[in-house]
Chain A
Amino acid sequence: MTRYMIVETRDAHEARDVAWMADLAANLQRNGPAAAVMLAENAVFAARASAIAPTVRTLAEAGCQVFADRYALRERGIRDAELAKGVKPADLDVVLDALETGASVMWR
């Protein structure tokens, strides 16, 4: 069960703080509680396999679940086939699922 979920909305190419978010999620995951990240809005740019930002790699190497908001992907013309390995397209239901089960959800 997801214990922590971070909703990241910022483009990793614009906000260096996104790397900090990825480190936080990775460390939460490594230290026991399951951590998941939902990439929404401009954050989905980092979900592309071609993205230079290391966000997804950091998260995937730590074993975090990484979701990308389907709505945000569609808005930006990003196809599922373009996503980096380990990124799962999902609806915002996964955020609500986390809230329902008592996870700590942080919005960035």
Chain B
Amino acid sequence: MSKKTLTFALMDAPFESSRTATAMRIIALAVKRGHNINVFAYEGAVYLPFAKQTQHANAVHGRDAEQEDHPLPREWIAALMQEAAAKGAKFDWVNCGLCVDERGASEAIEGVRRGSPADFWTMASNSDNTLVVPTA
């Protein structure tokens, strides 16, 4: 399959819904296949690349933070950006600016840029296909 450009719209906040993990699994597959990826994060999804996400201990499991090794979406995103770059593919993550301001979520990892729903329109218009992952 030739290189495609695929756009994904995500809306769910991290640590809340299985659909975030499912969507990230599809995006990860697309990165592995070398496609160019656009992600437009809307509403609570702007917290997915939030730079201050921190691992924590889990008293129920009786583990400290290191043993618990709690997964952090910001690390998934950074890894996907790195893998895409290694494959010579584009990985563009745009956080909805209004959603960021509402939530005080401006501290995103490197590589995330601020935008608006107009960016989503542009991304989708210039993509081979688009998948919208709405809130549950």
User: Cβ of B128 and Cβ of A92 under 8 Å apart?
Assistant: no
Partner of A102, one of B26, B129, B131, B136: B129
Measured between alpha carbons, how far is A102 from B35 in the docked complex, in Å? 14
Q: How large is the interface on A (under 10, 10 to 19, 20 to 34, 35 or more residues)?
A: 10 to 19
CB distance from B84 to the nearest CB of A (A): 15
Inter-chain contacts of A69 with B (CB < 8 A): 22
The docked-state distance in angstroms from the alpha carbon of A95 to that of B28 is 12
B14 to chain A, nearest CB (A): 16
The yes or no answer to A20 lying at the interface (CB within 8 A) is no
Indicate if B118 sits at the interface (CB-CB under 8 A). Answer: no
Contacts of B131 in A (CB 8 A): 95, 99, 105, 107
* B residues neighboring A (CB under 8 Å): 1, 4, 6, 18-19, 22-23, 25-26, 29-30, 33, 35, 128-129, 131-134, 136
- Measured CB to CB, the residues of A under 8 A from B are 7, 9-10, 40-42, 69, 71, 92-93, 95-96, 99-100, 102-103, 105, 107
